[in-house]
Structure 1
Amino acid sequence: MASVATHPMQGFPVRPLKFTIDELTQADFVWSPRVPEFAVFLNALGVHVPYFERYLVHSMRKAREHITDPELKRDATAIIGQEAHHANNFLKLNARLAERYPRMPEFEAANKKYFEGAANRDSLKRLTGFTAGYETFTFLAGGIILQNHPRWLADAQPLMNALWVWHQVEEVEHGAVAIDVYRHLYGEHEWYRKWMVLVALTHIFRETFTAYFHMARVEGWLRRPRRALRCVGFFLRLGGIFLKNALPAFRRGYDPRRHPLVTDGQSPIQIAWRRYEAEGGNVLEIDRDKMAEILRVTRYGDTAG
């Protein structure tokens, strides 16, 4: 039986998973029947994520040359591997989403230009600082989404369910690496890390907002006042949840390993999925029955609200 580390951020592996995204149909694009706004929110978030992930890979490769701690160097190598596989899968997903959402190529081109340009011109301090700021929110997304899986993902399209569970589990696993790397190199400039959290938040909010409301318009949600209010309300509520959970990141000595999402409220899915995958379980599609198997329970999600 394979074993996994007790703490999700300890000795995490690289998993070269490939999802059959080409099998999705347009009917699958709004993939959460229970909360369609959540599906569109993640679709919108995912538009720019793979381009940031390539920026992160570039950042960590440059930083790795200056890391003297062997364990941190191992973690930097592992995050490079994890994020490279994330980017490959999400670029394929974006290509499929472009079949339904006309402005997808425009959004992707803008983010490709932004992150490639930044990767070429940013100093090592800016590379590692912005990466640490951005990873503050990808880590939070991992914890928040896994905690709310019964509400938002229990009945999701199985491939998309599996894709996002994998992504969020790994975002939690490497959630401390970028901050550790920045502090290893520039620990005396803690103020700069906090500033980069705000810079990253602004970028994430702007890009997700633009793509979300484009997708909502295509889905016809903005043509009906009550449906439009529901759409806007979900975006604002989810944004509020992220902001509330981001507050600890502005404290001196902030460590994602001690964030309440990990210490107090770590999702059972986070623990069970890592064990199940390490034992050779197939995690490329997840429905209610598969999640029950992963969690070793009889039924999953029946009482989710």
Structure 2
Amino acid sequence: MADDLNHPMDGFPVRPLQFDVAKLTASSRLWSRTCPEFSMFVNALGIHVPYFERYLVRTMTKAKTEIESPALRRDMAAISGQEAHHAKNFIAYNQFLATQYPGVARFEADARDYFSARAKTDSLKQMVGFSAGYETFTFLGGMIVLDNHARWFEDADPTIKALWVWHQVEEVEHGAVAFEVYQHLYGRHELYRKWTVLTALLHIAGETLKAYVHMAKVEGWFRNPFRGLWKTGFCVLMLLRFVRAALPVFSRRYHPRRHPLVTQRQNPIQIAWRRYQRRGGDVLEIDRNKMAEIMQLQD
């Protein structure tokens, strides 16, 4: 089981957590008081993510019959379990966002239809390739978000903060699985792997920007066009962070387990959160005091 100073991708578990988003109020929609733009960015990003996660589960189920390695089959089952719980929680959170932003229901329906259609028509190679390309950015996003906890999470709604910390820890844990399935089945098709990284990035960027701009309009940020453009710049810069972090992915020798964001040092939040949760700690709400308690377990 991933814990302590072991590599975070070793033996990761499924954690069936359920976050109480039903109690959220309008003041919770920009839930990071430290950085409201970050709140909006991950809110916008998260609208379509659960439907990709369901697509990934279908991909793993379909590909599992082609995989002989017991270790990889175990990891495929674990990623499916983690992603199923992610999807359930984020669909519930999207229902809250839909009460705050009139366009969210349409964006969510479009995402559901898009991934449902792809799951029916994509070949196994397309499903595995797109899943591996997309997981590149959920994995890297996990590292980027956790490494910037103080800048973006310091003063935040305890439930949504807890939801995103859990999600990002687990995205790092299973960040190599889709890649390894692709390598096992289609590793000789290196150019196609790189192409799927680019197509996944374009899809993520397009969906996120569309939702972010809509939310910014609802918040009134564009009443002053200069203010609106300035705040939209945060979304663009975040996507550029993803691009910069993804540069090692285009090396033929790339493997997620060896990405510099994982191997140069483990994020202390990952280490402490995994220890705390494994010992029975309540991770469904994380305020400043709870985070301080969690972080005592990093050493």
TMscore range, shorter length: over 0.9
- For the 8 Å contact 1:5–1:11, the answer to whether it is kept is no
Letter in 1 for 2:288: R
Counterpart Cα distance in 2 of 1:5 and 1:51: 32
**1:233-283 C-alpha deviation (Å, 9 max, x unpaired):** 211221221111000111102111111111114310011101110111000
Letter in 2 for 1:140: L
- For the 8 Å contact 2:3–2:274, the answer to whether it is kept is no
State whether structure 2 residue 66 is matched by structure 1 residue 38: no
Counterpart Cα distance in 2 of 1:73 and 1:225: 51
- For the 8 Å contact 2:5–2:271, the answer to whether it is kept is no
Letter in 1 for 2:121: R
1:278 match: 278
TM-score calculated relative to the size of structure 1: 0.95
TM-score calculated relative to the size of structure 2: 0.97
**1:151-195 C-alpha deviation (Å, 9 max, x unpaired):** 100111000000000000000000000000011111111111110
Label 1:141 to 1:3 Cα distance change in 2 as closer, same or farther (>3 A). closer
1:11 match: 11
1:115 match: 115
Q: CA deviation at 1:229?
A: 3.2
Counterpart Cα distance in 2 of 1:98 and 1:286: 24
1:172 match: 172
Letter in 1 for 2:54: R
1:245 match: 245
1:201 match: 201
Counterpart Cα distance in 1 of 2:113 and 2:3: 42
1:260 match: 260
State whether structure 2 residue 175 is matched by structure 1 residue 137: no
Q: CA deviation at 1:123?
A: 0.5
2:84 match: 84
1:269 match: 269
Q: For 1:208-227, what aligned pairs fall within 5 Å after superposition?
A: 208-227=208-227
- For the 8 Å contact 1:57–1:80, the answer to whether it is kept is yes
1:93 match: 93
Counterpart Cα distance in 2 of 1:235 and 1:95: 22
Counterpart Cα distance in 1 of 2:290 and 2:247: 35
2:188 match: 188
Q: CA deviation at 1:219?
A: 0.6
Counterpart Cα distance in 2 of 1:35 and 1:96: 20
Q: CA deviation at 1:226?
A: 4.2
Letter in 2 for 1:273: W
2:124 match: 124
Label 1:267 to 1:246 Cα distance change in 2 as closer, same or farther (>3 A). same
State whether structure 2 residue 52 is matched by structure 1 residue 52: yes
- Local SS of the residue matching 2:47: helix
Q: For 1:13-32, what aligned pairs fall within 5 Å after superposition?
A: 13-32=13-32
- For the 8 Å contact 1:4–1:278, the answer to whether it is kept is no
Counterpart Cα distance in 2 of 1:184 and 1:220: 49
Label 1:227 to 1:265 Cα distance change in 2 as closer, same or farther (>3 A). farther
- For the 8 Å contact 2:3–2:271, the answer to whether it is kept is no
Letter in 2 for 1:221: W
Counterpart Cα distance in 2 of 1:236 and 1:66: 39
Moved more, 100-109 or 234-243: 234-243
Moved over 6 A (4+): none
Between the aligned residues of both structures, percent identity stands at: 60
- For the 8 Å contact 1:147–1:266, the answer to whether it is kept is no
